[in-house]
Chains A and B, each alone.
Chain A
Amino acid sequence: MSQVAVVDYGMGNLRSVMNAMAELGASAELIVDPDAIDRFERLLLPGVGAFAQAIDTLRKSGMAAALERFRATGRPVLGICLGMQLMCDASEEDGDHGGLGWIPARVISFPRNQGRKIPHMGWNGLHLARTDPIFDGVEEASDVYFVHSYYVACEQPSDVLASTEYGVSFASVIGRDNIYGMQFHPEKSQSIGLRLLANFLRLPA
């Protein structure tokens, strides 16, 4: 059994993430109390919604500090969608807001008025930039489910594990040391998504 903390900070539907954890046989708990995350062997930071409100909530509740402590232990952390964006230096969504600063990257808007609908919503392909245990069994160009209007622009190409095309080529999977981020929703990406989550659960803790 894998012990997974799923951080609940009031942003979005966590039921889907918990359903996926149950499907994979993982023992996962929704965690609101920042002091409670230390006892877990790995951590999921999900989230849907506005960046500013999310980072504000994490800071005020003490969860941002707890996440920083958890990251420093070297145990695996996965940010999903907004959770991935929060790991970056800053976001330009509704102003300019600092993030957790774990990955040197800015969260920026897709170019507007180019005939592409925003948000980028639907199934799109992953182009694998590097081999990594997170991609075990996942083929090049596998489709996963995205819903987002902003994307992560990494400063260092080595942090980009997979990219996806939507007018621009953007980072759809990022990784650095024990930290991973997925811009799409693996919990809603059927067999490919479940496999990616299973790979995360198998990373050494």
Chain B
Amino acid sequence: MLKSRLIAVLILRNGQVVQSVRFKHTNVIHSDPVHAIEAFNKWAVDEIAMINVSREQGSRDQFAESVAKVSRHCFVPLSVGGWITDAEYAHTLLRSGADKLIINSALADDPQLVTGLSVRLGRQCIVGSLDVKRTDGKPTVFVDRARRDTQQDPVSWARRACEIGAGEILFNSIDHDGARKGYDLETLRQIGAAVDVPVIAFGGVFTWNHLVEGIEAGADAVAAANIFHYSEHATRKAKAFMADAGVSVRKEGRVLV
């Protein structure tokens, strides 16, 4: 049986792991992303994502170096994103050890780039990322690290991302990010019903039950960032909670000696 996935997200700014609150990134959690991996990874997490939220395009090389460092210790799938504005940089990230590319602004600004990468690499390599914010209760998709409103609704944007070439959708809520109230379940349900590719829920997890809510709302994978840095063995505890709640999750890989 296919298991629900638990994904740990590292938000990187200028090479450091930072906390994310409504897409503001002021608190540094780890100066070295490899330490973060060692602190919360080990065996329980099913997948790792790294997102470069630096404001400067000049951060790209440093981020690729961080990806290379992390990938040496990462024997689960590694998705990476941020500043993927051309095919050459996409390939730099893949050569650095990334398995999937998380693409956000290019869905709006350069759909041909996304389609080209999807055709060349296969759609399983492209994660279409949607950052959603509500204005007067109405959700729309923002790009450019939450600075630009596309005025498109999340459901049609998710469908469009799949048409362009995404093989997976990462749904993040700007309002819920760091707000500790769980995922935007309503939008998550709508996106899950609208696309036939796996959907990852992200943004707002503060209790382990929020992860379970995400799965119950139709997510194939649940992601969180900040919460995994707060306690020892956090990903392991998260997995145990999900299993106790009846979610089918991967058990820790056990090898007989």
Contacting pair A137 B1 (CB below 8 A): no
Cβ-defined partner of B122 (8 Å) among A49, A188, A189, A190: A49
Interchain residue pairs with CB less than 8 A apart (17): A15-B96, A19-B72, A19-B74, A23-B75, A119-B124, A122-B3, A123-B2, A123-B5, A137-B255, A138-B255, A138-B256, A139-B254, A139-B255, A188-B77, A191-B253, A191-B254, A194-B75
Q: Does A43 contact B (CB under 8 A)?
A: no
Contacting pair B98 A13 (CB below 8 A): yes
Contacting pair A190 B75 (CB below 8 A): yes
CB distance from B1 to the nearest CB of A (A): 6
Q: Chain B residue with minimal CB distance to A48?
A: B122
Question: Which residues of chain A are within 8 angstroms of B95 by Cβ–Cβ distance?
Answer: 13, 15
Chain B interface helix/strand/loop/mixed: loop
Knowing A48-B121, A48-B124, A145-B76 are in contact, say whether A123-B3 is a contact too (CB < 8 A): yes
Contacting pair B255 A195 (CB below 8 A): yes
State the 5 A-B residue pairs at the shortest beta-carbon distance, nearest first: A191-B253, A123-B250, A15-B97, A143-B250, A192-B253
B residues contacting the other copy or chain, number (CB 8 A): 41
What 0/1 readout, one digit per residue, does chain B (164-179) give for beta carbons within 8 Å of chain A? 0001100000000000
Question: Which residues of chain B are within 8 angstroms of A123 by Cβ–Cβ distance?
Answer: 2-3, 5, 46, 250
What 0/1 readout, one digit per residue, does chain B (68-82) give for beta carbons within 8 Å of chain A? 000110111110000
| Cβ < 8 Å to A, chain B residues 1-43 | 1-5, 43
Cβ-defined partner of A145 (8 Å) among B77, B125, B196, B255: B77
Which residues of B are in contact with A by a Cβ distance under 8 Å? 1-5, 43, 46, 71-72, 74-78, 94-99, 120-125, 167-168, 196-198, 220-221, 250-257
A residues contacting the other copy or chain, number (CB 8 A): 41
- In angstroms, Cα B96 to Cα A36, docked, is 25
Q: Chain B residue with minimal CB distance to A115?
A: B196
Contacting pair B198 A20 (CB below 8 A): no
CB distance from B200 to the nearest CB of A (A): 11
Which residues of A are in contact with B by a Cβ distance under 8 Å? 12-13, 15-16, 19-20, 22-23, 48-50, 117-125, 137-139, 142-143, 145, 147-149, 165-166, 185, 187-195
Contacting pair A120 B253 (CB below 8 A): no
